[in-house]
Amino acid sequence: MSDATGPDTFDGPTPDNALRQAKKTSGPMLAADGTPLKKSLSRALRRQKMRALMLIAPLLLFVLVTFIAPIADMLFRSVENQIVSETLPLTTEELGNWDGQGMPPEAAFEAAYYDIFLAAERKQHTRLGTRLNYELTGASSLFRKSGRGLDDIGEVYQDQFEDLDENWDEALPWLELMGDPDWLAEQQEWAADEDGRQPRFELRDGIEEILPTTAREFAAFARFQQVEDQKNLLEEEPWSAVHTALYTDLAAGDMSSYSGPRADMLQAADALVASPEFETVSFLDGFEEIDEDWMEPPIWQTIKLYSPNYTSGYFLNSVDMQLTPEGAEARPDNERIYMLLFKRTLFMSMVITFSCILLGYPVAYILSNLPMRSANLLMILVLLPFWTSLLVRTSAWKVMLQQQGVINDVLVWIGLVADDSRLTMINNQFGTIVAMTHILLPFMILPMYSVMSTIPPSYVRAAKSLGATNWTTFWRVYFPQSIPGIGAGSILVFILSIGYYITPEIVGGTTGTFISNRIAYHISSSLNWGLAAALGTILLAVVLILYWAYDRIVGIDNVKLG
């Protein structure tokens, strides 16, 4: 046995030599191969960690992709609100300069005309209507009507230009006027056999200065036809929004100096617009024609209020408040419901947890103290409900508890209750608590049982032999050791019941429903997923806070599942 400080016996890289070397140079301790020991150790450790990570990687990935990501995506909807600014880009920009008082300027109507026209072509205006209808009643039909009605404005101009010159309703003259000549040549080449990709439409140089609105609208039209509808641009006559834009540009500018393609056509149109016979419609009148609601501030205020990409509106809604131009505000009394439901859900979940403890504790105690054979038999009885459909169990409670049900019949038969004053035990809180306690009971009994069966019976015998009464033995010796089981069972039952949905729906009536019933309604019926996500996020936060509090008070280390 050689000591590192002893005389040399071997040359070469032995651990002893390495240590000696390290001492001599008083530098970092080196591994056998000469690298610093620290580095070499951490490298080995890192490799080990990587290997472990690789082993769990499939599971980690699976959980991330199928569990965390969808939940995060769903919860993210509670603040998402891009739909307004994406569908109405010009309008939201225009309304950004408006102070929100009275009516917005006419420019906002003009922007809304172009936005909604395009949205209607893409069939997105009704989606936006549905979205805004959550905030302002009537928005749904307003947008549906407007999608149809806006054509009336544009057709006034379209018809007049067409009467002047048929070319205004043809695809090619428009393309010559608006499009880049090189692009047009490419497009015509492509159109010959429609093979490959359609060349992307390009505006002609300088046209944007002469006809700014028309250029914008024509480009939007071209993009829609080419990209979304996959149509050959050479065969599509422009829609009426382009004619409207042309009128706006001609009314604002003078075309006499224009000398590009189709100059005579444009100048004739300019002359027509300048002539007193030319019929015009103001955007204001056009919108008023569609629906009077456009003439009231609320719809404009709502659009302005919800134009940011992210909104706190859903969260405010889920705590019975609402977003108004003046800031967050409580909802009127007759529309408040969510806070009530949150409180009720928490309260009833606690009641259910406590009734599960009360009923489950003796059962678990008996189970753990019986001989194996009979304990197993009883265990099957506890597990039996797990093998029955949840709906069957819940419906069975209906049969038991309803006014013409088994319990009431028995009570009337015994004479405890008069026939005309049968007890109401279902479609209320009582019914929900009873049915859910029954359904969740196994989740309480099983952890309790597994903890209790590990408590050595000798402790109880020792306590008794030292003179403790039965009660003292139980309370001072047995019960403290069973607490981890109660803790585990309570967490399971409480968290399960807080998100329970089907049982309260069936037996809860109106006073026994939970917040999850409203979440389900918004997911499947009203399609207000943003609000559902906000409610779900709050529920998740409440559970996490309670879990944290539970950890502080009881200590999560004290929880045992077995």
Residue 535 CB, shortest distance to other proteins, in Å, is: 13
- At 423, list the tokens: 């007890």
Beta strands in 153-273 (DSSP E): none
CB 177 within 8 A of CB 165: no
Instruction: Indicate the residue among 134 and 361 with the shorter CB distance to other proteins.
Output: 134
* Total site size for other proteins, rule CB under 8 A: 38
- Return the residues of window 106-145 that contact other proteins according to CB under 8 A: 123-124, 126-127, 129-130, 133-134, 137-141, 144
Point out which span in 16-24, 296-304, 382-390, 511-519 binds other proteins (CB under 8 A): 511-519
Dihedral sign (CA 422, 428, 429, 433): positive
Residues 6+ apart with CB under 8 A from 245: 114, 211, 213, 214, 216, 217, 218
Using the contact rule CB under 8 A, the part of the chain among 104-112, 275-283, 333-341, 454-462 near other proteins is 333-341
Are the beta carbons of 171 and 235 closer than 8 angstroms? yes
**Three-state DSSP string of 193-205:** HCCCCCCCCCECC
Nearer to other proteins, 92 or 124 (CB): 124
Does the footprint of other proteins cover residue 322 (CB under 8 A)? no
CB of 337 to other proteins, least distance (A): 4
Given 427, 437, 450, 482, the residue binding other proteins (CB under 8 A): 427
In contact, 315 and 534? CB cutoff 8 Å: yes
| Contacts of 174 by beta carbon, 8 Å cutoff, 6+ apart | 168, 218, 237, 238, 242
The least CB distance from residue 85 to other proteins, in Å, is 18
> Taking CB under 8 A as the rule, which mask of x and - marks residues 335-354 in contact with other proteins?
xxx--xx-------------
Q: How far is the CB of 290 from other proteins (least distance, A)?
A: 15
Binds other proteins by CB under 8 A, chosen from 68, 527, 544, 545: 527
Q: Which two tokens stand for residue 12?
A: 């070469």
288 touches other proteins by CB under 8 A: no
Residues 219 and 173: their CA atoms lie apart, in Å, by 15
Pick the binder of other proteins from 404, 421, 458, 465 (CB under 8 A).
404
Q: Which stretch binds other proteins (CB under 8 A): 180-188, 357-365, 382-390, 522-530?
A: 522-530
At 102, which amino acid appears?
Answer: G
DSSP one-letter string for 385-447: GGGS-HHHHHHHHHHHHSTTSHHHHHHHHHTSS-GGG----SSSHHHHHHHHHHHHHHHHHHH
What does the alpha-carbon distance between residue 472 and residue 478 come to, in Å, rounded to a whole number? 9
Provide, rounded to whole angstroms, the least separation between the CB of residue 514 and other proteins: 11
Closer to other proteins at the Cβ: 86 or 335? 335
Please say which residue, 60 or 527, places its beta carbon nearer to other proteins: 527
Does residue 356 contact residue 435 with C-beta atoms inside 8 Å?
no
**At residue 195, what is the residue type?**
D
Place of tokens 């909604």: 116
> And the tokens for 560?
């045992």
- CA dist 65 and 89 (Å) reads 33
Cβ at position 480, least distance to other proteins in Å:
41
Closer by beta carbon to other proteins, 129 or else 485: 129
Give the residue with the Cβ less far from other proteins, 149 or 405.
405
Tokens describing residue 314: 């859903």
Site for other proteins in 225-284 (CB under 8 A): none
518 near other proteins, judged by CB under 8 A:
yes
Least distance to other proteins from the beta carbon of 229, Å? 14
Residues 6+ apart with CB under 8 A from 426: 397, 398, 401, 402, 405, 507, 509
For other proteins, the closer CB: 244 or 317: 317
* Segment interacting with other proteins, rule: CB under 8 A, options 101-109, 348-356, 442-450, 527-535: 527-535
Yes or no: say if 242 and 216 are a contact pair by the CB < 8 Å rule.
Answer: no
Among 334, 421, 458, 465, binds other proteins (CB under 8 A): 334
The residues binding other proteins (CB under 8 A) are: 123-124, 126-127, 129-130, 133-134, 137-141, 144, 334-337, 340-341, 402-405, 427, 505, 509-511, 513, 518, 523-529
